[in-house]
Amino acid sequence: MEHADQYSWIIPFVPLPIPILIGMGLLLFPTATKNLRRMWAFPNILLLSIVMIFSLDLSIQQINGSSIYQYVWSWTINNDFSFEFGYFIDSLTSIMSILITTVGIFVLIYSDNYMSHDEGYLRFFAYMSLFNTSMLGLVTSCNLIQIYIFWELVGMCSYLLIGFWFTRPAAANACQKAFVTNRIGDFGLLLGILGFYWITGSFEFQDLFEIFNNLIYNNEVHFLFVTLCASLLFAGAVAKSAQFPLHVWLPDAMEGPTPISALIHAATMVAAGIFLVARLLPLFIVIPYIMNLISLIGIITVLLGATLALAQNDIKRGLAYSTMSQLGYMMLALGMGSYRAALFHLITHAYSKALLFLASGSIIHSMEAIVGYSPEKSQNMVFMGGLRKHVPVTQIAFLVGTLSLCGIPPLACFWSKDEILSDSWLYSPIFAIIAWSTAGLTAFYMFRIYLLTFEGHLNVHFQKYSGKKSSSFYSIKLWGKEEQKIINRNFRLFPLLTLTMNNNEQPYTIGGKKEARITITNFGYKKAFSYPHESDNTMLFPMLILLLFTLFVGAIAIPFNQEGMHLDILSKLLTPSINLLHQNSNDFEDSYQFFKNATFSVSIACFGIFTAFLLYKPFYSSVQNLNLLNSFVKRGPKRILLDKMIYLIYDWSYNRGYIDMFYSISLTKGIRGLAELTHFFDRRVIDGITSGVGITSFFVGESVKYLGGSRISFYLLLYLVYVFIFLVISYFILF
């Protein structure tokens, strides 16, 4: 078994040949490479599968009695300074590498179909493999410098992939935003690394932890400085995992192709921040402020992500905010010190979210044929609805993903989320209340997405009725649903709200225009009445596999009580690691506690789902529905207050919490202003001085030229003047 560990350094490098080969091929033999395009997917998947088998093997070893393997090569720069490169494998690494490879393989299979008509098919696969390489490198690296290197590489891959469709200006802006935001995090990371190097003189994790603990123990370090460095390190994780102040890039990152969103921006890369914090937890744990900071950031992100997800029209953006919120849960768990729960949630969330994204990609793929290829249309939930009949498999997959994310019992996320929630009670009641209520919110917004997408009628065709988009009031009364959507688009309001408003006025305003519009539609948009189709099998297959994962991944942490306590696989993997909160909670009453918590969380989730049903219920029979809503309206002033509240929340959410706006005003304008200023300074002052010197010398030269003009009389005059002055002076001196 030893040999596997000896050679495990090749893990990150196995997928590497593909991008190199594709890159060379594209540069040197473009046509030949392009002709072989579909061929390239196979070695890609093959290599990744090899890595997966390898990492499975590693993790099995880790389970059966494991230790930490480490191997280093050193790279000497000069005598007193050298880097060591190597790999470091422990349970964390093996978990992460399994996660990356499994999700990676399915996403690759999926994207073979998804991207098959794209011009940049090969480029896409090259980037993907490059990403896999660097991500695997990140999880196996053994020192901070190596982490930093792969960290940046991962960021670069993300940049390239977000900007994959570079002809879209939105994508161009998004990728730059993502890179710069991540770069701010990297800046913190680098400074933190340097600071810790300065304190301890080492980059290796284990040496670092040891030395640092000794220093803390002997009270030899400057405490403020240590806290500063640690929070800088944490800033790197904040940017990568899209936590609160630096989360702005993640929703915009959805401009990239959907498989990318599944792989990078839901499952793996955003988990890198969690990974980093988990890796450095021994370091952070001795600094209490940092732990508080981590959990605080986590809880803010949980809440923010959930509220922002409430009113997104774009299906992918909604999912992105939900990712952010779930990452906040993980951060929270880490901040509370429950390492196991965080990692568990990382795994389950990665599978569920990858499933959700792949399903939404499939929806987008089928919608694109109908509404056009602009992401504003094909990803817009306004146009969707009623897809259940047309894409049944996708619907099942999406439903399972949604339920899992909401925390409905047999599915994966239930176990992990429940663990985090029950841990949060032990940590702090306020955090716990926020976390619990956010669980309800999660259920609400996830079901909102689900219902808008799959239930009701397909809205695309009805959209055509209302010729111009601005003329929202012209839409037809009978079809209640679509009109609310249109208004939603135009007024940026909460759909329900506008519906209730319009119910009062529409019968009077529209009346006779109905028939005219319908007839127009009948001959104008016949072709548009095609319905979305289910995607190909190559896309459905990975979804189904991921669905199975989502169903059963939760099992790895279910305790098998009959064999004694603590025999679940995950705990076995993570036994050596830290568990702050419940060292002694493995008693029998634990299961009682567990059931109590579970029922509570499930009931909250169910409440959220129910609310979503109430608000976004598909409008099958319009009359009934109108009555229902009208009865709502009639409930009087209380309702108006509520409406205002809801309006406020949705406005906040729709404008992304105004944070983006704030950033763009303060930072972008600030930097532009600074650039203008320095440019001005450069041109006017620094250049001005030299130009001034030049001009002065020019004038001096001119005047000298004038003086030295060729007139004899002028010379004589000068001569006489000088003689006169001389005489006067000598006269004064003599007498």
Partner 1 sequence: FVFTTNYFPWLTIIVFLPISAGSLLFFLPHKGNKLIKWYTICICIFELLLTTYAFCYHFRLDDPLIQLAEDYKWINFFDFYWRLGIDGLSIGPILLTGFITTLVTLAAWPVTRDSRLFHFLMLAMYSGQIGSFSSRDLLLFFIMWEFELIPVYLLLSMWGGKKRLYSATKFILYTAGGSVFLLIGVLGLGLYGSNEPTLNFETLANQSYPVALEIIFYIGFLIALAVKSPIIPLHTWLPDTHGEAHYSTCMLLARILLKMGAYGLVRINMELLPHAHSIFSPWLIIVGTMQIIYAASTSLGQRNLKKRIAYSSVSHMGFIIIGIGSITDTGLNGAILQIISHGFIGAALFFLAGTSYDRMRLVYLDEMGGMAVSIPKIFTMFSILSMASLALPGMSGFVAELIVFFGIITSQKYFLKPKILITFVMAIGMILTPIYSLSMSRQMFYGYKLFNAPSSYFFYSGPRELFVSISIFLP
C-alpha 728/C-alpha 229 separation (Å) is: 78
Which residue stretch of 147-155, 257-265, 508-516, 551-559 sits at the interface with partner 1 (rule: CB under 8 A)?
A: 147-155
Which residue stretch of 89-97, 110-118, 152-160, 533-541 sits at the interface with partner 1 (rule: CB under 8 A)?
A: 152-160
Work out whether the CA dihedral 587, 589, 591, 593 comes out positive or negative.
negative
C-alpha 635/C-alpha 447 separation (Å) is: 26
| Contact call for residues 406 and 447 (beta carbons, < 8 A) | yes
Which residue among 95, 190, 248, 341 contacts partner 1 (CB under 8 A)?
190
Q: Which is nearer to partner 1, 125 or 179 (CB)?
A: 179
Which residue among 628, 672, 701, 723 contacts partner 1 (CB under 8 A)?
672
| Contact call for residues 353 and 305 (beta carbons, < 8 A) | no
Tokens (6 digits) for 96: 């992460």
Q: Residues 685-714 vs partner 1: string with x where CB under 8 A?
A: -xx--x---x--------------------
The answer to the question of residue 180 lying near partner 1 (CB under 8 A) is: yes
Q: Which is nearer to partner 1, 122 or 612 (CB)?
A: 122
* Cβ density class 680-695: b for 16+ within 10 Å, e for less: eeeeeeeeeeeeeeee
C-alpha 269/C-alpha 281 separation (Å) is: 19
**Residue with structure tokens 């894409």?**
391
Which residue among 671, 700, 720, 729 contacts partner 1 (CB under 8 A)?
671
The answer to the question of residue 37 lying near partner 1 (CB under 8 A) is: no
Tokens (6 digits) for 732: 């004064």
| Centroid of chain to Cα 681 | 39
Nearest distance, CB of residue 145 and partner 1, angstroms: 8
Nearest distance, CB of residue 175 and partner 1, angstroms: 8
Q: Which is nearer to partner 1, 562 or 690 (CB)?
A: 690
| Contact call for residues 150 and 134 (beta carbons, < 8 A) | yes
The answer to the question of residue 587 lying near partner 1 (CB under 8 A) is: no
The answer to the question of residue 90 lying near partner 1 (CB under 8 A) is: no
Which residue among 49, 70, 116, 173 contacts partner 1 (CB under 8 A)?
173
Nearest distance, CB of residue 277 and partner 1, angstroms: 21
| Contact call for residues 552 and 404 (beta carbons, < 8 A) | no
Nearest distance, CB of residue 31 and partner 1, angstroms: 13
C-alpha 9/C-alpha 493 separation (Å) is: 54
| Contact call for residues 647 and 498 (beta carbons, < 8 A) | no
Which residue among 469, 596, 644, 679 contacts partner 1 (CB under 8 A)?
679
The answer to the question of residue 172 lying near partner 1 (CB under 8 A) is: yes
Nearest distance, CB of residue 377 and partner 1, angstroms: 17
Which residue among 46, 52, 68, 149 contacts partner 1 (CB under 8 A)?
149
Nearest distance, CB of residue 9 and partner 1, angstroms: 17
Which residue among 40, 125, 150, 465 contacts partner 1 (CB under 8 A)?
150
H helix count then E strand count, the chain:
34, 2
Nearest distance, CB of residue 224 and partner 1, angstroms: 11
The answer to the question of residue 576 lying near partner 1 (CB under 8 A) is: no
Size of the site for partner 1 (CB under 8 A): 50
Nearest distance, CB of residue 126 and partner 1, angstroms: 11
Tokens (6 digits) for 632: 């709502």
Which residue stretch of 13-21, 73-81, 91-99, 634-642 sits at the interface with partner 1 (rule: CB under 8 A)?
A: 73-81
C-alpha 667/C-alpha 376 separation (Å) is: 27
The answer to the question of residue 186 lying near partner 1 (CB under 8 A) is: yes
The answer to the question of residue 21 lying near partner 1 (CB under 8 A) is: no
| Contact call for residues 178 and 256 (beta carbons, < 8 A) | no
C-alpha 310/C-alpha 318 separation (Å) is: 7
Nearest distance, CB of residue 78 and partner 1, angstroms: 5
The answer to the question of residue 191 lying near partner 1 (CB under 8 A) is: yes
Which residue among 71, 85, 197, 525 contacts partner 1 (CB under 8 A)?
197
What values do phi and psi take at 76, rounded to 5?
Answer: -95, 130
Which residue stretch of 32-40, 473-481, 634-642, 683-691 sits at the interface with partner 1 (rule: CB under 8 A)?
A: 683-691
Cβ-based neighbour number of residue 734 at 10 Å: 6
| Centroid of chain to Cα 419 | 24
| Contact call for residues 328 and 309 (beta carbons, < 8 A) | no
Q: Which is nearer to partner 1, 222 or 469 (CB)?
A: 222
Which residue among 6, 32, 80, 637 contacts partner 1 (CB under 8 A)?
80
C-alpha 308/C-alpha 303 separation (Å) is: 9
The answer to the question of residue 439 lying near partner 1 (CB under 8 A) is: no
Which residue stretch of 96-104, 208-216, 518-526, 672-680 sits at the interface with partner 1 (rule: CB under 8 A)?
A: 672-680
The answer to the question of residue 145 lying near partner 1 (CB under 8 A) is: yes
Helices (DSSP H) in 634-708: which residue ranges? 637-654, 659-663, 669-680, 687-707
**Residue with structure tokens 């930072």?**
667
Nearest distance, CB of residue 375 and partner 1, angstroms: 14
Collapsing DSSP to helix, strand or coil, 287 comes out as coil
State the amino acid at position 516 in one-letter form: A
Q: Which residues contact 78 (CB under 8 A, 6 or more apart)?
A: none
Nearest distance, CB of residue 229 and partner 1, angstroms: 10
| Contact call for residues 131 and 154 (beta carbons, < 8 A) | yes
Q: Write out the H or E segment, with its range, that includes residue 78.
A: strand 69-78
Q: Which 8-state DSSP code applies to residue 700?
A: H
Which residue among 78, 218, 562, 584 contacts partner 1 (CB under 8 A)?
78
Which residue among 2, 117, 169, 508 contacts partner 1 (CB under 8 A)?
169
What values do phi and psi take at 655, rounded to 5?
Answer: -85, 20
The answer to the question of residue 32 lying near partner 1 (CB under 8 A) is: no
Which residue stretch of 164-172, 315-323, 381-389, 587-595 sits at the interface with partner 1 (rule: CB under 8 A)?
A: 164-172
Q: Which is nearer to partner 1, 77 or 516 (CB)?
A: 77
* 3-state per-residue secondary structure call for 119-138: CCHHHHHHHHHHHHHHHHHH
**Residue with structure tokens 């959700």?**
356
Positions touching partner 1 (CB under 8 A) are: 27, 77-81, 145, 148-150, 152-153, 156, 159-160, 163, 166-169, 171-173, 175-176, 179-180, 183-184, 186-187, 190-191, 194-195, 197-198, 671-672, 674-676, 678-680, 682, 686-687, 690, 694
